[in-house]
Amino acid sequence: MKSVLKATSVSLASIVVLTSLAACGGNSSNNTASPSATAGASAGASAGASDAAAQVYPENGLPKDEKVKLKVGFFEGGMGREWFDTALASFKEKFPNVSFDVTYSPTISQVTQTKIAANDDKDMFDLFSGSIPGGIASYVEAGKLESEEDLWDHKAYDGSGKTLKEVSFEGSFDSSPRTKGNTYAFPISASGSGLMYNKALFEKNGWNENPKTWSEFMKLCEDIKAAGLYPITFPGVYPDYITNAFGQPKVYELAEESGTLDKVFEDYHKFNLPYFLAPENLERWNRIYDMGKKGYFPSGLAALNHTQSQMQVVQGKAAMVATGTWVENEMKQSTPEGFKWGYMTVPMAEKPDNTKWITFTPGSGFLIWAAKPDLNKKWSKEFIAWLWNLDNQLQIAEKGGMIPLRADFADDASRLAKLQSLPSAFLAYMKDNKVKMDSGAADVTLTDPAFEQANKVMSESITQIATGKQDPQPKLQEAENYLKKAIEAQGK
Amino acid sequence: MTTLRSDRDRNGQKRSSVLQKANVQKWIFLAFAVVPTFGGYLLFALYPNVLSIYYSLLDWNGITKPKFIYFENYVRLFKDHYVWRALGHNLFYMATVPICVILISLVLSYLLTNKGYKGTPVFKVLFFFPNVLSTVVVSLLWAFIYDGSFGLLNAFLKLFGIDMDGFYWLGDTRTALYAVLPPYVWAGVGLYIVIFMNAMTTIPKSLYESAILEGAGHMTRLFRITIPLITPLIRVSAIFLVLGTLKSLDLVLILTRGGPAGSTDVIGLYMFNMAFGEQVQNYGYASAIGMFLFVILVGAKLIVDKLLPDRGYEY
């Protein structure tokens, strides 16, 4: 009995050790194996040529009889997941050979990053939202991500033969973020940035909800301040949030007024110097500094997180918050019944008819991992195109609180009425004003640490400038010096 | 005679085979005991750390082809004023957190051990409670305490006629660095109270009785009997706290993200941002900062060794 026990325990222990070693060492062999048990094998196999036509979907030419399982990493953020689950269900119903294995997480980018670090393409997601910490530029450079630029020419499933580019909302194609000239996270919705406010409070006080010039805007801030509220707040713990109201498009707005738009636009897209010290940029920061000195931002700004700053607006301590149109969905649990958000952008020019430049970000897209089997990648793209169906766009707008990207969305009044108050206010603002949109993204990617340091200089200065404690000029100079270093290092 | 010898041979063979078996079993046991932990240490601690030395010589973002740049990252590091600023903050926390934690823990554990309060077990649990909370919870709790509009601290100060309404303790460069200190201490004290209390209960009562007979008060007993007898434990605690404070970044990351204006930036956070930055990922430079931190940690350990000599008393 004793020897049996001994033999059993030794065998068990050996199994434990061997399996541990196998687990540790199995990675490389897995990588060389066929990519996917389900789709990989099917991707490699070719269907018979004769009955191929009968075996493919007429909508996209993909095989009906080859089962594909897509691994999806889903960012469960402010948009929630209801819209996604609905789209998933209708896609599976339409294409029953495609199934999904979805990982939902509010921190999906960390899961994605861990999977990337594990260097196991088989285990990696086929498509994933939430991007990758640090940006996608280096992954694009390394060929790890699939370009989705061709999706712009993909015919919309319900677009009467029109391509996604043709059915898209004006400005979506141009302002979509691109890396090395290609779209990598094909947008499925959009968000607009600016100042969001409590509409009822503005109406009650008779405050100007659509200031057309900088002077009118300053008058509005003065009125608000006189009423005992902070005119503008934002989460100073994440100081870059100020760019939602005073972002790069505002530099273009100032440039347009001074007649230097083309040059500034080119310089900002290509990181031509002077960048931080460009006169229009200096003017932008000086205006923020002046506002800071007048006490238009809360003094404890630097300690505010998203919830605290947004709650200041909900509770009537501040009038406007610099954020995006997603805030309505984000705060829906904390806003009282019937709370209506209003939208405005900061007018930088003095002529009322001048263009208002707005940060408009087509986004919420899914990245596709390039090392996946071709069939998986094709189905991934089909799923992204599926999300452009009007039904799904409605779900994205209604449940996710985002701005739809389909221009024909507004054709149906009942559909339009289902938009949440903020996307609706955003669209109304665009209708009532001369507006141009830009994502603020550059065409060039800088990878030297000096670039991170340049951004750090500005990022650390923002709350100090906005509270009137720091003159922006020396900080802009410091940032410019770092940027120069980064550009030189890149050119080596 | 022959039978006797063969019996002895048989016994000898039996004994040697038993010994051999025991020897093999001993090695198997040792292998099972050591290999998994040592293997884990090699794989998950030593190997990545040694690899970091190599990474620190690269211009590499973790994805693209690495470029060997010799000591360029180190040259950059020594010229980088953000590193020195962050290190200054680390040194401030290193100099204050361990002292505060150890002093408060010692006093509280002495009182709980020797005063014989009725609620000692409850206090013990209460003091230990922050240790079972995650850093996120601790940080959010303190963010609420320091809130300018609804914070407990401002409300408390108001009771004494000090009106700080609207003042955000974490939002001002003059106070943020110091405001991060209490959460560190609060979250650290409980564990050391438990450790010190257990050590204090092992000190013979007779020592205190003789001291009392000779007229020694509480302070004399604490500083002349208790602390000298648990010095080795205090020394180890000091090392843990110093190294832990130097390395930590989680509390700062959640509370202030190094702000306002970098006034609470610590080296671990700066390294983290360089490795996983919003705009740039540079594992090479981050590894160089990591190596620098390693040297600082070793230095700190040696300083603690020097300041707190390893002497113990037998009792």
Q: In a mutagenesis test of the B interface, which of A121, A453, A457, A469 is the best target, namely the one with the most B β-carbons within 10 Å?
A: A453
Per-residue pLDDT for B18 more than 60?
yes
Strand bridging mode A68-75 / A98-105: parallel
Whole-number pLDDT of residue A482: 94
- DSSP for residue B44: I
Token duo for residue A128: 């994933």
- B250 lies within 8 A of chain A by CB: no
**CA gap B13, B7 in Å, rounded:** 10
Whole-number pLDDT of residue A375: 96
Interface contact A449-B63, CB threshold 8 A: no
Over residues B215-267, the pLDDT tens digits come to 988 889 888 899 889 988 999 999 999 999 998 899 999 899 998 989 999 99
Question: Which amino acid type is present at position A268?
Answer: Y
Residue B183 near residue B133, CB atoms below 8 Å:
no
| Residues in chain A closer than 8 A to B281 (CB atoms) | 133-135, 138
Whole-number pLDDT of residue A42: 42
With CA atoms as reference, the chain B residue closest to A237 would be B256
Interface contact B261-A446, CB threshold 8 A: no
Over residues B194-218, the pLDDT tens digits come to 999 999 998 998 998 999 999 988 8
Token duo for residue A280: 């229009």
| Residues in chain A closer than 8 A to B35 (CB atoms) | 17
**CA gap A136, A178 in Å, rounded:** 10
Residue A122 near residue A31, CB atoms below 8 Å:
yes
What residues of chain A have any CB closer than 8 angstroms to a CB in chain B? 10, 13, 17, 20, 24, 113, 117, 133-135, 138-139, 141-142, 144, 236-240, 298-305, 308, 312, 317, 446-449, 451-453, 455-456, 460-461, 463-464, 470
Token duo for residue B249: 């970044």
Give B17's Cβ-side CA count (13 Å radius): 6
Mean pLDDT of chain B: 89
Q: In a mutagenesis test of the A interface, which of B72, B177, B281, B287 is the best target, namely the one with the most A β-carbons within 10 Å?
A: B281
**CA gap A476, A482 in Å, rounded:** 10
Of A491, A383, A411, A410, the residue nearest A447 (C-alpha): A491
Whole-number pLDDT of residue A54: 64
**CA gap B155, B191 in Å, rounded:** 29
**Chain A neighbours among B 72-111 (CB < 8 Å)?**
76, 80, 82
Whole-number pLDDT of residue A16: 43
Interface contact B168-A455, CB threshold 8 A: no
Q: What percent of chain B has pLDDT over 90?
A: 57
| ipTM associated with this complex | 0.74
**CA gap B3, B221 in Å, rounded:** 74
Whole-number pLDDT of residue B276: 79
The mean pLDDT value for B90-111 works out to 94
Q: Render each residue's pLDDT in chain A as its tens digit; 492 residues.
A: 445 445 544 454 454 444 444 443 333 333 333 333 333 344 444 444 556 556 899 989 999 999 999 999 999 987 889 999 999 999 999 999 999 999 999 889 889 988 988 889 999 999 999 878 777 888 888 899 999 999 999 999 998 889 999 999 877 888 788 888 899 999 999 888 999 999 999 999 999 999 999 999 999 999 999 999 999 999 999 999 999 999 999 999 999 999 999 999 999 988 999 999 999 999 999 999 999 999 999 988 998 988 889 999 999 999 999 999 989 888 888 888 888 999 999 999 999 999 999 988 888 899 999 999 999 999 999 999 999 999 999 999 888 888 898 988 878 888 888 888 888 899 889 888 998 888 777 777 787 888 888 999 999 999 999 999 999 999 999 999 999 999 998 775
| Residues in chain B closer than 8 A to A453 (CB atoms) | 80, 82
The mean pLDDT value for B135-153 works out to 90
Q: Exposed e or buried b for every residue in B77-87, given b needs 16+ CB within 10 A?
A: beebebbebbb
| Residues in chain A closer than 8 A to B64 (CB atoms) | 138, 141-142
Residue A441 near residue A362, CB atoms below 8 Å:
no
List, in order, residues 6 or more apart from B241 with CB less than 8 Å away: B97, B98, B101, B102, B188
Chain A and chain B share a number of CB contacts under 8 A equal to: 130
| Residues in chain B closer than 8 A to A121 (CB atoms) | none
Q: Nearest-CA distance from B132 to chain A in Å? A: 23
Q: Element (H or E) spanning A344, and its range?
A: strand A341-344
Predicted confidence band at B1 (pLDDT cuts at 50, 70, 90)?
low
Interface contact B167-A299, CB threshold 8 A: yes
List, in order, residues 6 or more apart from A123 with CB less than 8 Å away: A115
List, in order, residues 6 or more apart from A162 with CB less than 8 Å away: A155, A156
**Chain A neighbours among B 133-162 (CB < 8 Å)?**
143, 146-149
Token duo for residue A143: 């060929």
> What DSSP letter does each residue of B112-128 carry, written as one string?
HHHS--TTHHHHHHHHH
The mean pLDDT value for B16-41 works out to 88
| Residues in chain A closer than 8 A to B82 (CB atoms) | 453, 456
**CA gap A130, A73 in Å, rounded:** 8
